[in-house]
Structure 1
Amino acid sequence: MSWLPISSRDNPHLQRLRKLAQDGSAYRKLDGVWLEGDHLARAAVQRGLRPALALITDVAAQDDALHALADQAPRVLVVPAALFKTVSGLESPAQIGFELGLPSMPTIDPLADSVVLDRLQDAGNVGTILRSAAALGFRQVLALKGTAALWSPKVLRAGMGAHFGLRLIEGLQESDLAALRVPLLATSSHADALLHEADLPQPCAWVLGHEGQGVSEALMRRCALRVGIPQPGGEESLNVASAASICLYESARRRLAGAR
């Protein structure tokens, strides 16, 4: 491995990292992912992923733990904090970041407990859903075209490392879901049953729709079951990430209960 001090804003490595950090879809063209901060960097390493490059401030390089983390990369660029800020997409930049090669996209596992994202726009919602999916045992996430880019820096930050434990497949058409051999479930105001009373199939795929429009009519017709989430407080609807967590938890709770 090599440590290389960088002082020029125009260094080609920094120009590349700047694009990855500040353009949410750049990873598709550059085949790389920007992980900013030691939490995401450690999460990737713990999953056995090796970064292609590390970027660290000269101050952080004096910290033994961060120095050792940077050493996971074959090449380490050391920059002043002011130069790191020109790369970062954050108001309060971290002190270390990794470039990771874009993981290859797997094929659809037809029998996996899954989450289907139907044109979700908000990166925070998408990342939160990925985090809930990973925590509750839904290891496959299928994102239809129009959904926020799964490997964008904003989704990565909201996912808090969940990406590295999931099968992530994006850019799908609705017709691609025919590969699934598990029932599709969705929440709806025209529900067949309330969530806690419904007979939830195991395994299954929960479909989560656009923040304003919900699940498309065509995709809703594919769903084997539509459930409602009781809201005794009287609100009209729940945030999609909150609804996802509730539904995934109920499925996971029953899965665990059935295993006893």
Structure 2
Amino acid sequence: MSQVLHITSRDNPALQRLRKLSQDGGAYRKLGSIWLEGDHLVRACLQRKYPVSLAVLTEAAAADPVLRLLGDAAPRQLIVPTDLFKTISGLESPAQIGFEVVHDAGQSLTRGVNTVVLDRLQDAGNVGTILRNAAAMGFHQVLAIKGTAALWSPKVLRAGMGAHFGLRLIEGLAPADLDALGLPMVATSSYAKQQLHQLVLPSPCAWVMGHEGQGVQPDLMQRCQLTVGIPQPGGEESLNVGSAAAICLYESARQRLVNQ
């Protein structure tokens, strides 16, 4: 049974901590926990058996049998008025339930598994989209080079739509750290002579997705065994990095399925 507390003070220490997590995208690195807002993220967390430390529900949610059942998965529940929940919400239309979960920053990269590398991507929407693409296409590890948007920030979590909980996510890496992967690395380039649809892609491999404006940094590009182009018959200069990732990861997944 969960321990249930009814809270009416905005100065409650737990709520103060959650405000920091919802308002500061990198606060989870200092506080060691993550704020998940909304029943979609909450359900995704529970489905993957991610460790939950606290549930926060509005009074209306606590009266809803379905949402109350979700809250019962946490060892502690805080029941708060709707106006108080709004003070810890990062959404324009606040949800009715949220979880605080433990952030494990001590993971090490796994060698030899299909991987996506994010090289200093800045846009949270792009990062979250790529995490969804990676999870959908069977790339179970995502590695972020130092300078990439915080992977567990509220904005990236919302864009990822629950994909986080099916991935191994490691941040703050340097290009040299990727040598431990033991995989061929592949990057896209507008200068590549070989086109994606013409190649037999290595499997497993690590796809490198570069900064929205600068692309893949030279030190990392030098580590890539293969560069490929994405045909653009419409004549655009380049693709959004989230779109490029979707195309590349799909082609890798397609070739894996064909060769099974």
Tell me if TM exceeds 0.5. yes
> In the alignment, is the contact (CA less than 8 A) between 2:3 and 2:75 conserved in 1?
yes
Query: Is the counterpart of residue 208 in structure 1 residue 209 in structure 2?
Result: yes
What pairs up with 1:171-250 in 2 under 5 angstroms?
171-250=172-251
Q: In the alignment, residue 216 of structure 2 is paired with which amino acid? A: V
Query: 1:39-95: per-residue Cα shift (whole Å, max 9, x none)?
Result: 111111111123100111001111111000001111111111111110011111110
Q: Is this contact kept in 1: 2:140–2:168, CA < 8 A? A: yes
Quick one: which amino acid aligns to residue 61 of structure 1?
A: A
Secondary structure of 1:255's counterpart equals helix
Q: Distance in 1 between matches of 2:132 and 2:207?
A: 15
Q: Secondary structure at the match of 1:193?
A: coil
CA, structure 1 residues 174+147, in 2 after alignment: closer, same or farther (shift >3 Å)?
same
Question: 1:104 deviation in Å?
Answer: 4.3
Q: Tell me how far apart the structure 1 counterparts of residues 113 and 106 of structure 2 sit (CA, whole Å).
A: 16
Contact 2:141–2:167 (Cα < 8 Å) also in 1: yes
Following superposition, the deviation at residue 13 of structure 1 comes to 0.8
Matches within 5 A, 1:23-172: 23-172=24-173
1:107 Cα deviation after fit:
1.4
SS at match of 1:87: coil
Q: 2:196–2:228: 8 Å Cα contact kept in structure 1?
A: yes
- The amino acid of 2:154's aligned partner reads P
TM-score of the pair, normalised by structure 2: 0.98
Q: Deviations over 1:168-220 (max 9, x none)?
A: 11100111011011101000011130000022111100000000000011211
| Secondary structure at 2:186 match in 1 | strand
Q: Contact 1:195/1:228 (CA < 8 Å) preserved in 2?
A: yes
Query: What amino acid maps onto 2:245 in structure 1?
Result: A
Is residue 184–residue 204 contact of structure 1 (8 Å, CA) maintained in 2?
Answer: yes
The number of equivalent residue pairs is: 259
Report SS of the residue matched to 1:69. helix
Residue 257 of structure 1 corresponds to 258
Unaligned runs of 5+ in 2: none
For residue 59 of structure 1, give the secondary structure of its aligned residue in structure 2: helix
Q: Distance in 1 between matches of 2:44 and 2:200?
A: 36
**Contact 1:40 1:160 (C-alpha < 8 Å) held by counterparts:** yes
Gaps of 5+ in 1: none
1:105 Cα deviation after fit: 3.5
Distance 1:167 1:8 in 2: 37
Contact 2:105-2:170 within 8 A present in 1 as well: no
C-alpha deviations, 1:14-46, integer Å up to 9, x for none?
A: 000101111101001100000000111111111
Amino acid at match of 1:146: G
Query: Which residue type is aligned with residue 74 of structure 2?
Result: A
**Coordinate RMSD, CA, aligned:** 0.9
* 1-structure distance, mates of 2:58, 2:81: 5
